């Protein structure tokens, strides 16, 4: 299996997604665009395309952020979807999937930073790849926006602060607004970058303090994420056979 990560910023690291890919012995490659690494020219050499988060949004221009080419990323995502690849977007990545498929992103009702519960919808409870999820699960969050919905998209999970936490665009294309990949190391990177927001934690319903962020256990949600990725890999391989 060939897993390719698009990483927008050093502090938005792949975390548990990368751990899973390496533990599975997959061939892992990267486009660390913040470091000037190029995007693949097409999706031909990729099985799993995983698009990470970032402080940008899909409307961010090259003038505003010279290392982030939203249109080129959307084109790569669209080609991967058309070619039947497995595509996962996290936070900004989920919004880029929606945009690539014609569904504009929007602002979430609440800013969420920390660890808060998501709840599976009826569609989420019916989806086999999420059968190991509890109906309600505490997961990581670090966002202000949320992905758009195509006509065929299904919302699989929501939170009190955001109605679109996990979106299924097709049988192998998923957007995770939430951050199930967070680990203590990744959280430290995000804390260092987000000092201004975290200093205002008391102003928001769903923003943890740095102390609260460091006290959370992220291992359970990581294991649940691994279970989803295992199922998606098995489904993808069966479809390729």
Residues 128-147 pLDDT 10s? 999 999 999 999 999 999 99
Of 15, 41, 65, the C-alpha closest to 226 is 15
pLDDT band at 187 (very low <50, low <70, confident <90, very high): very high
Report the sign of the C-alpha dihedral through residues 135, 136, 137, 140, in that order: positive
In sequence order, the β-bridge partners of residue 31 are: 6
pTM for this predicted structure: 0.97
Q: Can you say how many angstroms the Cα of residue 162 is from the centroid of all Cα atoms in its chain? A: 14
Report the sign of the C-alpha dihedral through residues 48, 54, 60, 66, in that order: negative
Q: Which secondary structure element, helix H or strand E, spans residue 158, and what is its range?
A: strand 154-158
C-beta neighbour count of 234 within 10 angstroms: 11
CATH code reported for the domain at 2-240: 3.40.50.880
Report pLDDT for 26: 98
195: pLDDT strictly greater than 90 = no
199-228: average pLDDT: 94
Share of the chain above pLDDT 90, in %: 94
């Amino acid at each position: 299996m060939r897993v390719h990560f698009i990483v927008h910023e050093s502090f938005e690291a792949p975390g548990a997604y990368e751990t899973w890919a390496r533990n599975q012995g997959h061939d892992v490659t990267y486009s660390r665009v913040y470091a000037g690494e190029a995007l693949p020219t097409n999706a031909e050499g990729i099985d799993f395309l995983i698009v990470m988060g970032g402080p940008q949004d899909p409307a961010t221009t090259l003038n505003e952020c010279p290392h982030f080419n939203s249109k080129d990323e959307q084109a790569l995502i669209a080609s991967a979807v058309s070619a039947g690849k497995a595509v996962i977007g996290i936070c900004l990545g989920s919004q880029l999937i929606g945009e690539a498929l014609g569904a504009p992103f929007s602002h979430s009702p609440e800013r969420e930073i920390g660890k808060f519960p998501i709840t599976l919808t009826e569609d989420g409870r019916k989806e086999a790849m999420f059968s190991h999820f509890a109906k309600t699960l505490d997961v990581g969050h670090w966002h202000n926006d949320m992905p758009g919905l195509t006509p065929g998209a299904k919302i699989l999970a929501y939170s009190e602060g955001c109605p679109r936490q996990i979106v299924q665009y097709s049988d192998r294309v998923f957007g995770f607004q939430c951050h199930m990949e967070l680990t203590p190391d990744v959280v430290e990177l995000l804390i260092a970058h987000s000092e201004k927001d975290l200093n205002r934690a008391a102003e928001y319903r769903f923003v943890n303090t740095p102390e609260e962020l460091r006290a959370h256990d992220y291992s359970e949600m990581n294991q649940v994420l691994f279970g989803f990725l295992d199922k998606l890999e098995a489904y993808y391989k069966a479809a390729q056979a």
